[in-house]
Amino acid sequence: MRRTAVPLALAVLLGLAGCDPRTDPGRSLPPDDRPGYAVPTPSPPGTVMPELRGQSVLAARSLLPLWYPVTVRDADQRGRVVVVQWQWRVCAQDPAAGTALTGQVVALRAMLAEESCP
C-alpha cells in the first residue's frame, strides 16, 4: 500500500506545482491595441480618485490601489454579473473623479463594451 501511495502523492504534488492559479487555460487575452482593452500603467497610490469612465473594468481596477475594495455592477437593469472584466466598460463611478480616497468602497457601474451606457 505504501509503495503505491508515495509515488501517487508525489505525482499529484508535482502536477499541482505546475498549475498557476492566476491563469485560466481556456481564456485568451485580448490584444493590447484594441481601444479600451489596454491596461494603462497604474500611477503610484495617491489620494485622488482617477477618472475611470470609458475604460474597461480591468483597466479601471489597475488604476486603483490593490487594497481598495471595489464593487462592479451591471449599469443596465438586467443585473448581469461582470466576470470577464476586459469586456466591460465603466459607465459610472462613485466616488467621482477628483474626490479624495480615504479607503471607502469604490462602486463602478459597467456595460458590455459593445453596448452604450444608459
Q: How many domains does the chain have?
A: 1
pLDDT greater than 60 at residue 21: no
Rounded mean pLDDT, 41-46? 52
Highest mean pLDDT among 26-30, 64-68, 112-116: 112-116
What the block records as the C-alpha cell of 43 is 500611477
Domain extent, residue 38, equals 30-112
| Domain membership flag for residue 70 | yes
Mean pLDDT calculated for residue range 89-115: 92
Chain center to CA of 36: 14
Angle, vertex CA 63, rays to CA 86 and CA 67, nearest 5: 105
Identify residue 62 by its one-letter amino acid code: S
In a domain, 48, yes or no: yes
Do the Cβ atoms of 15 and 50 come closer than 8 Å?
no
Q: Examine residue 10 and state whether it is found in any structural domain, yes or no.
A: no
Inside any domain, residue 69: yes
As given in the structure block, the three cell numbers for residue 30 are: 485580448
Checking if the pLDDT of 109 tops 90, the result is yes
- pLDDT at position 2 is 57
Q: Which grid cell is 54?
A: 470609458
CATH number at 106 reads 3.30.10.20
pLDDT of residue 87: 93
Assigned domain for 3 exists: no
Q: Is 13 part of any domain?
A: no
pLDDT score at 107: 95
- CA distance to 18, 25, 29, 70, 80, per residue, from 21 (Å): 10, 10, 16, 21, 25
- By mean pLDDT, which of 49-53, 58-62, 102-106 is the weakest? 102-106
